[in-house]
């Protein structure tokens, strides 16, 4: 976790409204009157990604001078550190875009207010019920949608939901706050706000709808029906690599730009936002600042989640097992680079041909360039976290689709084998690996129980579905895990990249990769 108190003294001028003129000599600062911004957006889950992505687009919109109608009120559900950092600097913060050999800074001003829900429960509800609020946006991670892994429906029995259903706030979920506010708006005759998910979850608009309606139906069925009829849930596709901010990055911002920012954001220059044009209470003119407004987001989201997020999963587990710590360092390893390149080219891209109006070759080359960018050294531990949610969303669908079509899956199978090996909680030298996952205890126990046998983990059907019923895949995965255990990740990479399927790895070895892989 980023420590907001570790900034060294005398390394920069504190960031706040009164110092913007001074900072404008070295970075771009808001050219508009922030006090004139209408607080029409409430965003729940203010982390680095939101601040580098959605908030930066709305800052761009205000800078055009065409619209001051879309200022942001931020809401945090779980951690007070962001409140402390932003309150000290008038909700201003720095976004530093880092590419190879370049670094550009800007101060973002679209965030006007920040509320920490556990301490400001009533204020959060008031902000959501405010007639000026027309749009609620979310980055609460995939776990925040409380989806049943088998049915994809809302799971009303999870502990956080049960807590929120039992009494008044403070709440643990976003859905309880939204339900309270929409009940107030309905009673007052006010129109509802749109609810727009900006999370990387399949069908994020539908996921948000199912979560809010599902929660509300447990407590107030008439309100749930009203929400279904009147609230819009536009789907989105979002993309920008935004690593966690470290104390070293904070110090570098102070040294490079002279800004003592308690919690800056680092990001790659690339950013993309595709939004479904489906709103119930107006929308910001995002097309004026480069956002694609479309009738159907799903083709764009499918390409992005399969190619980027799926590759992220594979890169995280393989890189960690090889002893790497960040994406750029891992991608400088020729074995890893070639694996990711071939994974995209030979096993992921063929599944996506004709899906969207996207040049898949150009998209793949852009992704490879982004992943090798030394300016944003994304921690592999971040990519590897929450695998029980990410893998069934991003990588396993490609594996399942390819197998159903009889297409090659050796590289995808190795990615799964690396995940299973990571789940044991120690690397190939025996050093501990922290498994960050809400199901870490269960999955690590199963991984250690099976060792090179994948069947115990594959038996978790709400994650793996019927993959465990595919004997050819199970056999290929078991062989891949044995290669990793007996000869290491490098040997496994060499084997799949050389296409040496169906014959022995070395003289006298009892490990072979079946041709079905």
Question: How many angstroms separate the CA atoms of 405 and 391, rounded?
Answer: 20
What is the pLDDT confidence band of residue 509, given thresholds at 50, 70 and 90? very low
pLDDT by residue (tens digit) across 49-96? 999 999 999 999 999 987 899 999 999 999 899 999 999 999 999 999
Q: For the chain, give percent helix, strand, coil, nearest 5.
A: 50, 15, 40
- Higher pLDDT residue, 188 or 450? 188
For residue 392, what are the contacts with CB-CB under 8 A and spacing of at least 6?
A: 149, 463, 464, 465
User: Which pLDDT score, from 0 to 100, does residue 66 have?
Assistant: 79
Q: Is the pLDDT of residue 507 over 80?
A: no
User: Which pLDDT score, from 0 to 100, does residue 100 have?
Assistant: 86
Closest CA to 472 of 390, 423, 387, 399: 399
What is the pLDDT confidence band of residue 450, given thresholds at 50, 70 and 90? confident
Longest pairwise C-alpha distance within the chain: 78
Q: What does the mean pLDDT of the chain come to?
A: 92
- Lookup: tokens for 72: 């942001």
pTM for this model (two decimals): 0.85
Q: For domain 13-296, give the CATH number.
A: 3.40.50.720
Strand 272-276 to strand 236-239: parallel, antiparallel, or no bridges (unpaired)?
Answer: antiparallel
| Percentage of the residues of the chain whose pLDDT score is greater than 90 | 86
Residue 10 CA: distances (Å) to CA of 20, 25, 53, 119, 187? 18, 18, 30, 32, 53
Whether the CB-CB separation of 211 and 143 falls below 8 Å is answered with no
User: Which pLDDT score, from 0 to 100, does residue 202 have?
Assistant: 82
- Lookup: tokens for 498: 């050389």
Per the DSSP assignment, residues forming a β-bridge with 195 are 136
For residue 5, what are the contacts with CB-CB under 8 A and spacing of at least 6?
A: none
- pLDDT average, residue stretch 341-365: 94
pLDDT by residue (tens digit) across 239-257? 999 988 999 999 999 999 9
DSSP line for 99-114: ETTEEEEEEE--EEEE
Q: Is the pLDDT of residue 8 over 60?
A: no
What is the pLDDT confidence band of residue 7, given thresholds at 50, 70 and 90? very low
Domain 299-498, what fold?
Answer: 1.10.1040
Question: How many angstroms separate the CA atoms of 319 and 312, rounded?
Answer: 10
Per the DSSP assignment, residues forming a β-bridge with 422 are none
Closest CA to 54 of 138, 142, 124: 138
How many CB atoms sit inside 10 A of residue 471's CB? 9
Q: Is the pLDDT of residue 167 over 70?
A: yes
Question: How many angstroms separate the CA atoms of 269 and 282, rounded?
Answer: 29
Q: Is the pLDDT of residue 389 over 70?
A: yes
Whether the CB-CB separation of 135 and 283 falls below 8 Å is answered with yes
Q: What are phi and psi for residue 99, nearest 5 degrees?
A: -120, 180
Cis omega (within 30 of 0) for bond into 108: no
User: Which pLDDT score, from 0 to 100, does residue 328 have?
Assistant: 95
Whether the CB-CB separation of 168 and 227 falls below 8 Å is answered with no
pLDDT by residue (tens digit) across 482-503? 999 999 999 999 999 987 443 3
Locus of tokens 């009157």: 33
Closest CA to 265 of 17, 22, 56, 24: 56
CA atoms within 13 A on the CB side of 113: 18
pLDDT by residue (tens digit) across 285-340? 999 999 999 999 999 999 999 999 999 999 999 999 999 999 999 999 999 999 99
- Lookup: tokens for 479: 């062989």
- pLDDT average, residue stretch 443-466: 94
pLDDT by residue (tens digit) across 101-154? 889 999 999 999 999 999 999 999 999 999 999 999 999 998 899 988 778 889
- Higher pLDDT residue, 157 or 515? 157
Question: How many angstroms separate the CA atoms of 139 and 336, rounded?
Answer: 30
pLDDT by residue (tens digit) across 13-55? 999 999 999 999 999 999 999 999 999 999 999 999 999 999 9
Locus of tokens 């041909």: 353
Whether the CB-CB separation of 2 and 245 falls below 8 Å is answered with yes
pLDDT by residue (tens digit) across 269-289? 999 999 999 999 999 999 999
Question: How many angstroms separate the CA atoms of 54 and 356, rounded?
Answer: 23
Locus of tokens 């499918």: 302
Whether the CB-CB separation of 106 and 99 falls below 8 Å is answered with no
User: Which pLDDT score, from 0 to 100, does residue 3 have?
Assistant: 43
Residues 205-224 as b/e (b if ≥16 CB within 10 A, e otherwise) read bbbbbbbbbbbbbbbbeebb
- pLDDT average, residue stretch 195-201: 94
Question: How many angstroms separate the CA atoms of 409 and 476, rounded?
Answer: 10
User: Which pLDDT score, from 0 to 100, does residue 344 have?
Assistant: 98
Q: Is the pLDDT of residue 2 over 60?
A: no
For CATH 1.10.1040.10, list the domain ranges present in the chain.
299-498
For CATH 3.40.50.720, list the domain ranges present in the chain.
13-296
Question: How many angstroms separate the CA atoms of 160 and 175, rounded?
Answer: 11
């Amino acid at each position: 976790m980023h420590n907001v108190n570790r900034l060294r003294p005398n390394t920069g001028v504190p960031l706040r409204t009164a110092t913007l003129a001074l900072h404008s000599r070295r970075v771009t600062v808001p050219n508009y009157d922030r006090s004139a911004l209408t607080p029409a957006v409430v965003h729940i889950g203010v982390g680095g990604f939101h601040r580098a992505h959605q908030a930066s687009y709305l800052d761009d919109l205000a800078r055009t001078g065409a619209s001051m109608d879309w200022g942001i009120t931020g809401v945090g559900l779980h951690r007070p550190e962001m409140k402390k950092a932003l309150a000290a600097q008038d909700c201003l913060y720095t976004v530093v875009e880092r590419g190879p050999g370049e670094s550009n800074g800007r101060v973002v001003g679209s965030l006007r207010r920040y509320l920490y829900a556990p301490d400001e429960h009533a204020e959060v509800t008031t902000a959501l019920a405010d007639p000026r609020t027309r749009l609620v946006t979310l980055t609460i991670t995939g776990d925040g949608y409380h989806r049943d892994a088998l049915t994809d429906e809302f799971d009303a029995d999870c502990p956080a939901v049960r807590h929120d259903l039992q009494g008044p706030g403070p709440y643990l979920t976003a859905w309880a706050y939204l339900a309270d506010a929409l009940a107030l708006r309905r009673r007052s005759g006010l129109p509802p706000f749109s609810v727009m998910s900006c999370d990387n979850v399949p069908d994020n608009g539908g996921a948000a709808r199912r979560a809010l309606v599902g929660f509300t139906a447990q407590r107030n069925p008439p309100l749930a029906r009203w929400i279904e009829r009147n609230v819009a849930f536009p789907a989105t596709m979002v993309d920008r690599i935004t690593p966690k901010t470290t104390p070293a990055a904070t110090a570098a911002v102070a040294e490079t730009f002279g800004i003592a920012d308690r919690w800056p954001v680092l990001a790659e220059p690339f950013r993309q936002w595709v939004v479904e044009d489906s709103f119930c209470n107006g929308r910001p003119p995002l097309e004026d600042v480069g956002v694609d407004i479309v009738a159907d987001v799903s083709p764009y989201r499918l390409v992005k989640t399969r190619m980027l997020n799926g590759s992220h999963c594979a890169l995280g587990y393989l890189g960690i097992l090889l002893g790497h710590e960040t994406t750029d360092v891992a991608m400088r390893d020729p074995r890893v680079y070639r694996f990711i390149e071939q994974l995209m080219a030979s096993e992921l891209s063929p599944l996506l041909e004709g899906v969207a109006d996207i040049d898949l070759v150009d998209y793949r080359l852009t992704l490879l360039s982004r992943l090798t960018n030394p300016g944003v050294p994304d921690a592999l531990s971040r990519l590897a976290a929450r695998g029980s949610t990410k893998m069934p969303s991003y990588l396993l669908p490609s594996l399942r689709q390819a197998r159903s079509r009889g297409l090659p899956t050796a590289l995808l199978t190795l990615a799964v084998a690396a995940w299973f090996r990571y789940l044991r909680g120690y690397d190939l030298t025996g050093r501990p690996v922290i498994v960050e996952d809400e199901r870490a205890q269960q999955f690590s126990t199963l991984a250690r129980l099976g060792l090179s046998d994948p069947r115990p983990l594959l038996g978790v059907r709400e994650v793996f579905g019927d993959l465990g019923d595919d004997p050819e895949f199970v056999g290929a995965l078991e062989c891949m895990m044995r290669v990793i255990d007996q000869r290491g990740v490098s040997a496994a990479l060499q084997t799949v990249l050389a296409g040496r399927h169906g014959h022995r790895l070395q003289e006298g070895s009892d490990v072979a990769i079946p041709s079905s892989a």
